[in-house]
Amino acid sequence: MAKSWAALGVDLHLHLRLDPTGIGTGTGTGVRRGLTDAIREAVRGGRLTPGTRLPSSRSLAADLGIARNTVADAYADLVAEGWLTARQGSGTSVAERPVPRPSAGPTRHPRSPFPPVHDLIPGSPDLSFFPRAAWLKASRRALTNAPNDALGYSDPRGRVELRTALAGYLARARGVHTDPDRIVICSGFVHGLMLLGGVLHARGLTSLALESYGLDAHWRLLERAGLRTVPLGLDELGTRTEELTGGEADLAGVRTVLLTPAHQFPIGKSLHPDRRAAVVDWARRGDGLILEDDYDGEFRYDRQAVGALQGLDPDRVVYLGTASKSLAPGLRLGWLVLPPSLVGEVVAAKGRIDWSCGVFDQLTLAEFIDSGAYDRQVRAARLRYRRRRDALVAALAARAPQVQATGIAAGLHAVLQLPPGTEESVVREAVRRRLAVHGLDLYRHPDSTAERTDALVVGYGTPPDHGWAGALEELCATVAPAGS
Amino acid sequence: MAKSWAALGVDLHLHLRLDPTGIGTGTGTGVRRGLTDAIREAVRGGRLTPGTRLPSSRSLAADLGIARNTVADAYADLVAEGWLTARQGSGTSVAERPVPRPSAGPTRHPRSPFPPVHDLIPGSPDLSFFPRAAWLKASRRALTNAPNDALGYSDPRGRVELRTALAGYLARARGVHTDPDRIVICSGFVHGLMLLGGVLHARGLTSLALESYGLDAHWRLLERAGLRTVPLGLDELGTRTEELTGGEADLAGVRTVLLTPAHQFPIGKSLHPDRRAAVVDWARRGDGLILEDDYDGEFRYDRQAVGALQGLDPDRVVYLGTASKSLAPGLRLGWLVLPPSLVGEVVAAKGRIDWSCGVFDQLTLAEFIDSGAYDRQVRAARLRYRRRRDALVAALAARAPQVQATGIAAGLHAVLQLPPGTEESVVREAVRRRLAVHGLDLYRHPDSTAERTDALVVGYGTPPDHGWAGALEELCATVAPAGS
């Protein structure tokens, strides 16, 4: 015991020298905290074993050259925390308890020994294009002007400033018909879809129709919410929404459909006008609901943006928008525009008060929209991505004329149609060239009966400007016929 | 038809004059958008009825004095959106569809005709004390220094900068034993508890023990996750954790307990040292788990803070912390410190990538901690709240000596013990005085068998400085015996 105590004594002196101030509130608090920490660590580390009697506060204080009360207080702290026990008449000892097993080492994510150099995975905008200076300016104004109660727990729909700004913007830019009371801010599209999945399941729904191609993260979260996902067919006009009324066995009783009408992800077509009309009529006739994922509706190049489907019937369409493509996914900001009949249930699912969304970014985005900075950013981004798309199409025409880029009228990605049977080998070649790119098959719903086509999905919005030329070069080399 | 068209023509001129620029990308886009919007609104509003033939693009262009292509493009947009139909040889008409029913009016939350003037509801810090200037400074540094990839989709545990800063801070300030790999950032305490509830339910748990008094929002979210909540007893030493081992029928098989060890909410006691030790031993013996809600652990006044229970056994205790009391609830930032065995499941529940938490506030809080600003803020807040507590105790002693304030060694609230049978009438008197304050009974778990006591829970941290004196005055007047 004498030995372990001597070792502790050395530690204590060292600790007190190294950390003479601490962060406490009163005189001597730093010394007391240093002493408390050192004894706690000695017990935790096993240097002071259970049952070990500690010296009296008087003798330890003399040994360390500190006030006796400081030692007594440190002992009292450690008794309160359960490390030490104090028994009337028998002094202070280390509590009788097994030393906790050491934790397993930190989790490490294995990394490929050859990480990709070029990233053309779709789904992310060019992050280097985020308008940091303008965002900071807006955040300064937003935080300076925010009332105190904005910093508290608030309306589960999100801040009214942002809902008001969005109602105006979405009407103007996307033809969405709404008012701020029917908008619910969420932590990005996925959070919104999660809320809707829970609400629909609670309403008794057991299945939901969607497109043949999409993101497995979305299918999985809907399945986790208790909804079977049933893919619609696909033809040269896009998603076959008429199957909803066509009497297919799998679709019997399905009353909700998730669509990307402006720019099917990842195929890239807009939903045909006749089908837009027909799907809204289907929803009206059968008390159905359309979830409109408008993930990149602002980025249309060859013609005016196709307005939101929601505008056709705000009572039958839930509009889901996001700042992830127009600004950055890291913001985790999205919005639901809801039919009046759904507002109460979605708000209840989000929580009686807003447990999800931080206010600062909400207020900043409201300021960003109101000041016109959001429009400017979208316009500049549209020009930037359009140039990349044009460069992609031109480079393919010159270097790999057998590869046709489709779905390119809008968005931040293109689909490169490959010769039949070559998708897998082209993806392998991309990996060899350290080019991250996805084959189309990765986006195919497991139950889809749509004809398979060989293709690459190329996120030309993803790289920073300085990496774009190199990525395009590697892409062309990957898809060009050998020897060309 | 001629009449409706004339009405439309007037609208169009007006619209084009009012909005000559729009936000489009090319020459003439503003005019085209204005025209598109005006026709869409005319259809939506019923002024242009289904089947109505529109004038040819040539004649409308001449009528409006704009280019024919602009009209043709606007028609094409509206056909794509489903508002109009174009048939070979028969021109363009309004699509055959019922006009959507008008939406119900906006949801309005009813407000009491006499809203409270003074707010002493516990659970919120003084929002006027949020360090706006220091936060903005930190956010500028954080955003300026952030790598581009921080703005993308990221690690489901949250930003490594914040997890690293927290690991250091929590070790130093709360005796928490961890490394950044075992911390998961979440959108405040509620989000963390939701994640844990889901994980525990997926592990097969069906019930969870907790304290007799607490927040119904927590009980309800656990019940929604499929966990029955079973309250532990309460005595003069605090929560009777020994009941976990005592063979009570309701607690048979319960292997998880949620506690507020540093400062029971709302009663205000610390968990007794013997019980701290015993509950950890219980968890070790029976493969149990303790969820430690450390909601206000930093605010202790009369002695050093009681270190986190987590330090006693990081493999058996999940530590839940939050910025809601130390900074502001509006940040929606909290953190879980997890045993290694739980990290994988919690990360999976949060999502393969971080769908929940915005990066800017995370990076700002990391910078705020690293720069020492967080410690300074906590120190200043501790002093401020301690002064309020002292003023509360002094005022009660002078004005209402029959009312004893308990649970006041820490935190941002106190419990005022009232004469038996008076809680309801005192709360009514508070409402009459437009003072928002809660009776203790509101926090009592419906299944609790603990003896009822009459008391008020007073959140003295809630009002801004300028409102504190008035709130205290009304509180004293409310609880003082009539005529005194």
For residue B120, count CB atoms less than 10 angstroms from its CB and return exposed for 0-12, middle for 13-18, buried for 19 or more.
buried
How far, in Å, CA of A227 to CA of A231, rounded? 13
**Using a CB-CB distance cutoff of 8 angstroms, which residues of chain A are in contact with residue B175?**
37, 40, 81
Q: What is the pLDDT of residues B72-113, one digit of tens each?
A: 888 888 887 778 888 777 788 888 764 443 333 333 333 344
Beta bridge partners of A207: A228
How far, in Å, CA of B469 to CA of A153, rounded? 23
Place of tokens 């316009």: A379
Place of tokens 């019980």: B275
Please, are residues B318 and B342 in contact by the beta-carbon 8 Å criterion?
Answer: yes
- As a whole-number percent, the residues of chain A with pLDDT over 90 amount to 68
The answer, for A33 touching chain B at a CB cutoff of 8 Å, is yes
- DSSP state string for A249-298: GGGTT--EEEE--SS-TTT-PPPPHHHHHHHHHHHHHTT-EEEEE-TTTT
Which chain A residue is nearest to residue B278, measuring alpha carbons? A82
Q: What is the band of A114 on the pLDDT scale with cuts at 50, 70, 90?
A: low
Could you check whether the bond before residue B106 is cis, i.e. omega within 30 degrees of 0?
no
- As a whole-number percent, the residues of chain A with pLDDT over 70 amount to 90
Closest Cα in chain B, distance from residue A392 (Å): 21
For residue A30, count CB atoms less than 10 angstroms from its CB and return exposed for 0-12, middle for 13-18, buried for 19 or more.
middle
State the pLDDT at residue A416: 98
Query: What value does the mean pLDDT of chain A take?
Result: 87
Which range among A115-129, A280-294, B139-153, B244-258 shows the weakest confidence by mean pLDDT?
B244-258
**B142, pLDDT greater than 70:** yes
**Using a CB-CB distance cutoff of 8 angstroms, which residues of chain A are in contact with residue B44?**
177, 311
Is the CB of B130 less than 8 angstroms away from the CB of A151?
yes
- DSSP state string for A391-421: HHHHHHHHH-TTPEEES-SBSS-EEEE--TT
Nearest Cα to Cα of residue B265 among B211, B196, B302: B211
**Using a CB-CB distance cutoff of 8 angstroms, which residues of chain A are in contact with residue B307?**
36, 40, 77, 81
Could you check whether the bond before residue B266 is cis, i.e. omega within 30 degrees of 0?
yes
**A20, pLDDT greater than 80:** no
Q: What is the mean pLDDT of residues B349-378?
A: 94
Is the CB of A24 less than 8 angstroms away from the CB of B304?
yes
Rg (C-alpha) for chain A, rounded Å, is: 30
State the pLDDT at residue B97: 62
Looking at per-residue confidence, does A147 or B351 come out higher? Answer: A147
**Which are the contacts of B212, defined by CB distance < 8 A and separation ≥ 6?**
B231, B232, B233, B234, B239, B444, B445, B448, B450
Is the CB of B330 less than 8 angstroms away from the CB of A358?
yes
How far, in Å, CA of A18 to CA of B172, rounded? 14
**Would you tell me which residues 421-460 of chain B have a C-beta closer than 8 angstroms to some C-beta of chain A?**
none
State the pLDDT at residue B173: 92
State the pLDDT at residue A482: 58
The answer, for A344 touching chain B at a CB cutoff of 8 Å, is yes
State the pLDDT at residue A101: 36
The answer, for B311 touching chain A at a CB cutoff of 8 Å, is yes
Is the CB of B311 less than 8 angstroms away from the CB of A382?
no
State the pLDDT at residue A29: 63
Residue type, A111: R
The answer, for A152 touching chain B at a CB cutoff of 8 Å, is yes
Domains and CATH numbers, chain A: 2-94 (1.10.10.10), 118-128+376-479 (3.90.1150.10), 131-375 (3.40.640.10)
Is the CB of B181 less than 8 angstroms away from the CB of A106?
yes
**B2, pLDDT greater than 50:** no
Chain B interface, mutation test: which of A33, A190, A304, most B Cβ atoms within 10 Å? A304
Looking at per-residue confidence, does A196 or A303 come out higher? Answer: A196
State the pLDDT at residue B233: 93
Please, are residues A309 and A259 in contact by the beta-carbon 8 Å criterion?
Answer: yes
Q: What is the mean pLDDT of residues B454-482?
A: 94
**Most distant CA pair in chain A: distance in Å?**
92
The answer, for A375 touching chain B at a CB cutoff of 8 Å, is yes
Which range among A236-240, B119-123, B369-373 shows the weakest confidence by mean pLDDT?
A236-240
**Using a CB-CB distance cutoff of 8 angstroms, which residues of chain B are in contact with residue A187?**
187, 355-358
**Using a CB-CB distance cutoff of 8 angstroms, which residues of chain B are in contact with residue A24?**
304
How far, in Å, CA of B347 to CA of B343, rounded? 6
- In angstroms, what CA-CA distances link B409 with B93, B264, B268, B464? 76, 11, 8, 21
CA B443 to chain centre: 19
Please, are residues A427 and A445 in contact by the beta-carbon 8 Å criterion?
Answer: no
Q: What is the CA angle B397-B451-B446, rounded to 5?
A: 115
Outline where DSSP puts E strands in B269-332.
289-293, 317-322
State the pLDDT at residue A19: 38
The answer, for B227 touching chain A at a CB cutoff of 8 Å, is no
Please, are residues B220 and B243 in contact by the beta-carbon 8 Å criterion?
Answer: no
Query: What value does the mean pLDDT of chain B take?
Result: 87
Is the CB of B77 less than 8 angstroms away from the CB of A188?
no
- In angstroms, what CA-CA distances link A44 with A318, A340, B319? 55, 57, 17
How far, in Å, CA of B180 to CA of A106, rounded? 8
Is the CB of B360 less than 8 angstroms away from the CB of A356?
no
The answer, for A144 touching chain B at a CB cutoff of 8 Å, is yes
Q: What is the mean pLDDT of residues B402-429?
A: 95
Which range among A6-15, B60-69, B233-242, B257-266 shows the weakest confidence by mean pLDDT?
A6-15
The answer, for A124 touching chain B at a CB cutoff of 8 Å, is yes
Chain B interface, mutation test: which of A355, A377, A382, most B Cβ atoms within 10 Å? A355
The answer, for B246 touching chain A at a CB cutoff of 8 Å, is no
**B360, pLDDT greater than 70:** yes
Looking at per-residue confidence, does B243 or B483 come out higher? Answer: B243
In 3-state terms, chain A is what percent helix, strand and coil (to 5)? 45, 15, 40
Q: What is the band of B18 on the pLDDT scale with cuts at 50, 70, 90?
A: very low
Say which of A303, A315, A375 has its CB closest to residue B23.
A375
Task: Report the SS3 class of residue A72.
Answer: helix
The answer, for B173 touching chain A at a CB cutoff of 8 Å, is yes
Q: What is the pLDDT of residues B325-343, one digit of tens each?
A: 999 999 999 999 999 999 9
The answer, for A190 touching chain B at a CB cutoff of 8 Å, is yes
Is the CB of A329 less than 8 angstroms away from the CB of B23?
no
- DSSP state string for A105-127: PPP-----SS--SEE--TT---G
Task: Report the SS3 class of residue B250.
Answer: helix
The answer, for A88 touching chain B at a CB cutoff of 8 Å, is no
Looking at per-residue confidence, does B72 or B290 come out higher? Answer: B290
The answer, for B343 touching chain A at a CB cutoff of 8 Å, is yes
**A84, pLDDT greater than 80:** yes
In 3-state terms, chain B is what percent helix, strand and coil (to 5)? 45, 15, 40
The answer, for A66 touching chain B at a CB cutoff of 8 Å, is no
Looking at per-residue confidence, does A25 or A322 come out higher? Answer: A322
**Using a CB-CB distance cutoff of 8 angstroms, which residues of chain A are in contact with residue B183?**
none
Looking at per-residue confidence, does A110 or A170 come out higher? Answer: A170
State the pLDDT at residue A24: 34
Q: What is the band of B27 on the pLDDT scale with cuts at 50, 70, 90?
A: very low
Which chain A residue is nearest to residue B179, measuring alpha carbons? A106
**Using a CB-CB distance cutoff of 8 angstroms, which residues of chain B are in contact with residue A101?**
315
Is the CB of B358 less than 8 angstroms away from the CB of A358?
yes
Q: What is the mean pLDDT of residues A216-233?
A: 95
Is the CB of B150 less than 8 angstroms away from the CB of A330?
yes
Which chain A residue is nearest to residue B316, measuring alpha carbons? A100
**Which are the contacts of B263, defined by CB distance < 8 A and separation ≥ 6?**
B269, B270, B295, B296, B297, B299, B300, B407, B409, B410, B411
Both tokens of residue B418?
Answer: 């009232």
The answer, for B350 touching chain A at a CB cutoff of 8 Å, is no
Both tokens of residue A389?
Answer: 């798309």
State the pLDDT at residue A27: 45
State the pLDDT at residue B288: 96
Please, are residues B297 and B262 in contact by the beta-carbon 8 Å criterion?
Answer: yes
Phi, psi of B462 (to 5 degrees): -70, -45
State the pLDDT at residue A21: 37
The answer, for B122 touching chain A at a CB cutoff of 8 Å, is no
Say which of A23, A187, A303 has its CB closest to residue B355.
A187
Task: Report the SS3 class of residue A448.
Answer: coil
The answer, for B285 touching chain A at a CB cutoff of 8 Å, is no
Say which of A44, A152, A182 has its CB closest to residue B124.
A152
The answer, for A330 touching chain B at a CB cutoff of 8 Å, is yes
Is the CB of B106 less than 8 angstroms away from the CB of A179?
yes
Q: What is the band of B116 on the pLDDT scale with cuts at 50, 70, 90?
A: confident
The answer, for B98 touching chain A at a CB cutoff of 8 Å, is yes
